[in-house]
Structure 1
Amino acid sequence: MLYQQLCDCLAPLTTTPRQIILALSGGLDSRVLLALLAQYRDQHPQHCYRVVHVNHGLQLQAEQWARQCQHWAAQAGFDCRIEHVELDSALSLEHAAREARYQALQQHLEPEGLVLTAQHGDDQVETFFLALKRGSGLDGLAGMPEVRPLGQGWLVRPLLAQSRAALASYASSHGLSWIDDPSNQQTRFDRNFLRQHWLPEADARWPGFRQAVQRTQRLCAEQSSLLTRFIAPIVENALSDSGALPIAVLPQADPAMAHALLRHWLKRYKLVLTYAQLQVLIRDVIHAKQDANPCLTIADVSIRRYQQQLYVVTPCADLSQWQGELTLEQPLTLPDGLGQLHLLPFEATAPGLALGPLTSTLKVHFNPSGLAMHPVGRQGRRKLKKLYQEAAIPSWLRRRQPIVCDDQGVVAVADHFVRLGASGQQWRLVWQR
């Protein structure tokens, strides 16, 4: 039954050869999944398999456990890698360990690769009550999805429909041993408190209680999916080319609808706001005074308003000292994921800024301080700062616009302006992002 569950889960994800990574903690659950995956590999050898053990260094036995996981992986015929991680002290221990684990796994993940983890049905029930404690909405109460994006691949939980008792029975019948982490008994952690105390009492009082919770989770998932199908077209049709959300699309007379639209938009950036944070966003950013420059910061991400549009602003590098050289028909790779600049032969219907003959080497940088130019179609020279304002370039993007210069000054600002006298029909400046 467990093996068939694994096969059914992987079937739609493995129609072509895939990288398959097993996250092996060494506990009962992942130990069972290791045995199941070995059986699967023998029947599906076309895939590329790997086992990864993440050593959080939280227990004295951590190194011993890592060696044990390597031994079990080798016994099953898998290559096993050990990842040592450091935890973010700003997060709770559980949250920090989870984030570090997923970051470590992503280092091994190829495009469209799969990472398998061994969460099961009992974990899912616990997740429901943890979400309920936080006051979560439909998405949180729906629990963990069987498949979700992870980096450039996918996180897969093939055992979510199975109980821990079923896994324990499999381990016993197949003579498997596993690691018992003593921290799983520490009820200062909320999940352990639920597992050790609250849920056993609920099970004793209400037979079938866990199955009822799982039905509720499935209903929440269905309702969330239906809501997304309704909300998604409204958000996608309203977005600007830069991904900004116009405030006008949020109905003031229908707060529930406005909340749903905002939450869906923020999902694009993997941002989940609490109800309180959502109220702060509406009060202090959306409804801020017209002449304000409002901003709500969540962790290291900011939500900002500019010209009645909302933007999500992620941390970026300081590019003020960066400089590159642009040559004909040779792409210049820009820093910090900003794409490439190209100087290509002019074509009337092709994208890009039209330039005339180029008489000197072109330099590229991002620092507009003190620079001015006389753009085509404008009267007189203007500072770049003023031109950026007139072009409605948000303040946080103004030092991320490629400035192309020759020995006479600014030739062009990619996608925006060309200097009077530098335009023509010989070359085109193309910014590919």
Structure 2
Amino acid sequence: MLYHQLSDTLAPLTSTPRQVVLALSGGLDSRVLLALLTQYRDQHPQHDYLVVHVHHGLHPDADKWAELCQMWADNAGFRCRVERVSLDTSLSVEHAARQARYQAIAHLLKPNGLVLTAQHSDDQVETFFLALKRGSGLEGLAGMPAVRALGQGYLVRPFLTLSRASLEAYARQHQLDWVDDPSNQDTRFDRNFLRQHWLPQADARWPGFRKAVERTQRLCGEQASLLARLIEPMVTQAETEAGSLAITALPQNDLALTQAMLRHWLKRHSITLTQAQLQTLLFDVINAKPDANPSLSVGTVSIRRFQQQLYIVLPYADLSQWQGTLTPETPLALPDGLGTLYLLPYSSTEKGLALGDLASRALHVHFNPRGLSIHPAGRQGRRKLKKLYQEAGIPSWLRRRQPIICDGETVVAIADRYVSQAASGKQWRLVWQHES
């Protein structure tokens, strides 16, 4: 029965050869999955198999557990890697360990690869109550999906409909050894408290209780899926080619629909907000004063409003001290993924900002607009760079990512947008080749 569950789960995902990675903690559940995957591999040798043990370093026996996992994988004929990780101390131990595990494994994942983990139905029930404690919506209450995206591939949980008791029965029948992590008994952790105290009492009082929870999770999952399908075309229509979201497309008189659209758009970018954060986004960012420059920080990214658009802004390097030299027909690589600048002979059929015969053949490039101005070609008078950036509709967070080209101390061009009156002509063309 257990093998068929694994085989049936993998069947629609393995029509062509691909990487299959087993996350082996050494506990009962993953040991059973290792035994079943050994049988599966013998029948499906076309795939690229790998066993990964993540060494968190949280327990004195962690080295011993890693050695056992290596031995079990070797005995089964699998390649095995032990990945040592450091935890983010700003998070809870549970959250930090989980995050580190998935990051370590995702780093090893090839395109369309599969990562197998051994969570079972008991874990799923516990997840429901942890989500309920946090005040989660439909998607959170639906629990862990059997398949979800992870890095370049997918995370697959073939045991979600199986109980821990069935896995333990299999392990004992096949005389498997496994690791017993004593931290699983520590009821300071919420999941262990549910497992050791709350859920056994609920089971004793209400027979069939877990089945009812599983049914509720299925219903929540179905309704969350239906809502996502209804919201998807609305968000697609509201999203621009640049990935920003048009605030004017949000229904002003339907708060619930607005929140659903925002959550769906953010999920596209792997961002999840708490209810408090969502309220901050609505009232302090979207509805901020017109002349404000509002933003909401979420982890390492920020959500910003500019000209009635919402943008997701990744962290950028400080380029204020960077300097480069641009010479004719020699590419200049710009920092922080900003692409390449070229100064090429003029051509009326090729793209680029037309420049004349410059006094200096070596141009100075930097990104700091403070105090600088330029007399744009074809216009009256000089303009501060800040005013030109505003005029061009460049968001505030991108203004110090526009390359400024100078001849000595004089600004002759800004990115691929403006050329000075004195530097205009048809001898050279300035090309900014963006990486994205």
TM-score, normalised with respect to structure 1: 0.91
Q: Per-residue deviation at 1:354?
A: 4.0
Cα displacement (A) at 1:414? 3.5
Instruction: State yes or no: 1:388 paired with 2:389.
Output: yes
Query: Is 1:189 matched with 2:192?
Result: no
1:237 aligns with 2:234: no
Q: Give the distance between the partners of 1:365 and 1:110, measured in 2 at CA.
A: 38
Opposite residue 373 of structure 2, the aligned amino acid is A
Q: Distance in 2 between matches of 1:281 and 1:234?
A: 19
**SS of residue in 2 equivalent to 1:36:** helix
Report the alpha carbon displacement of residue 24 of structure 1 after superposing the two structures with TM.
0.8
Partner of 2:379: 378
Distance in 1 separating the partners of 2:160 and 2:343: 53
| More divergent stretch after superposition (366-375 vs 50-59) | 366-375
What is the Cα deviation at residue 372 of structure 1? 2.9
Does the CA-based 8 Å contact 2:85-2:100 persist in structure 1? Answer: yes
| Deviation readout 1:154-204 (Å, 9 max, x if unpaired) | 222222222212211221222111000011011111111111122222222
Say if 2:366 is the partner of 1:365: yes
Counterpart of 2:79 in structure 1 is: 79
The answer to whether structure 1 residue 264 and structure 2 residue 261 are counterparts is: no
Distance in 2 (CA, whole Å) between partners of 1:227 and 1:356 is 54
Q: Distance in 2 between the 1:246 and 1:292 partners?
A: 17
Q: Which range moved further: 115-124 or 361-370?
A: 361-370
User: 1: distance between equivalents of 2:224 and 2:94?
Assistant: 26
**AA of the residue aligned to 2:368:** N
1:353 corresponds to: 352
Counterparts in 2 of 1:145 and 1:341: CA distance versus 1, 3 Å: farther
- Once the two structures are TM-superposed, the CA of residue 320 in structure 1 deviates from its matched residue by 2.2
Say which SS state the counterpart of residue 292 (structure 2) adopts. Answer: coil
Partner of 1:21: 21
Cα offset, 1:409, TM superposition: 4.5
Give SS of 2:108's match: coil
Change (3 A) 1:244 1:177: same
Q: How many residues align?
A: 432
Q: Which runs of 5+ in 2 are unaligned?
A: none
Q: CA RMSD in A?
A: 2.5
- The alpha-carbon distance between structure 1 residues 20 and 411, as it changes in their structure 2 partners (threshold 3 A), is farther
Provide the secondary structure at the position in 2 that maps to 1:107. helix
| CA-to-aligned-CA distance 1:252-276 (integer Å, 9 cap, x gap) | 2111011111111111222211212
User: C-alpha distance in 2, partners of 1:42/1:328?
Assistant: 61
Residues in 2 aligned to 1:68 and 1:312: alpha-carbon distance in whole angstroms:
44
Give the 3 Å change call, closer, same or farther, for CA 126–356 of structure 1 in structure 2: same
Percent of pairs with identical residues: 67
Letter in 2 for 1:209: F
Q: Does 1:284 align with 2:299?
A: no
Q: Determine if the alignment matches structure 1 residue 314 to structure 2 residue 317.
A: no
Residue 106 of structure 1 and its aligned partner are, at CA, apart by: 2.2
More deviation, 378-387/399-408: 399-408
Separation of aligned partners in 1, 2:233 and 2:165: 43
Q: Does the 8 Å contact 2:353/2:417 carry over to 1? A: no
Q: Are the equivalent residues in 2 in contact too, given 1:353–1:418 (CA < 8 A)?
A: no
> Any unmatched runs of 5+ in structure 1?
none
Distance in structure 1 (CA, Å) of the matches to 2:16 and 2:341: 35
Aligned amino acid, residue 383 of structure 2:
R
User: Is the alpha carbon distance of 1:257 and 1:3 closer, same or farther for their aligned partners in structure 2, counting shifts above 3 Å?
Assistant: same
Tell whether 2:430 aligns with 1:431: no
Question: For residues 249 and 196 of structure 1, what CA distance do their matches in structure 2 show?
Answer: 48
Assess, with a 3 A threshold, how the Cα gap between structure 1 residues 387 and 137 changes in structure 2: closer, same or farther: same
